[in-house]
Amino acid sequence: MCEGIGCVERVDRQSPLAIPPRSRYSSRMIPIKDWRLDDSEIEERFIRASGPGGQNVNKVSTAVQLRFDVKRARLPEAVRARLLQIGGRRLTADGVLIITAQQFRTREQNRRDARARLVAWLRRAAEIPAARVPTHVPPAARRERLAAKRHRKRARERRVVLMDE
């Protein structure tokens, strides 16, 4: 069994943690040389899980709340910037990424799950998104769109009710 955040457990392909081989991003990655996460960069808290489960859920704190300070972590600058960009509501105002894992019944399984999800987020941040190629709108399509807008405008004008004074 592998210890530390640098090693990743094998993830089932059906799992939501599995990264699809062809994602919407290109397969180009930000080069990372000799880069490992240190356990001191990760803060874990064990909390009570929410939802159904009876006595076990109500009495035992098995859910894990993993906190990863993106701004202070030793990450390549490009990965840090991208992680801050894609973090969404999982990021606090201070730049702390919060991952909560409560799928499993034991602390250790939830802990592994949270760490695997953190690694998945870091891998996703290391992917360079494909550049968007703007499409060219043909002149005929532009004329059709404007004609449809004029048609809708006339229909709206006909609906106006005149009020007599």
Alpha carbons 86 and 97: distance in angstroms, whole number: 11
Closest CA to 31 of 158, 126, 155: 126
pLDDT digits (tens, 9 = 90+) for 33-91: 556 777 788 888 888 877 776 676 667 788 888 999 888 888 888 888 888 888 888 88
Q: What is the pTM of this model?
A: 0.61
Angle, in degrees to the nearest 10, between helices 77-86 and 107-126: 110
Q: Domain spanning 1-137 has what CATH number?
A: 3.30.160.20
pLDDT digits (tens, 9 = 90+) for 114-158: 998 988 888 888 888 888 888 899 999 999 999 999 999 999 998
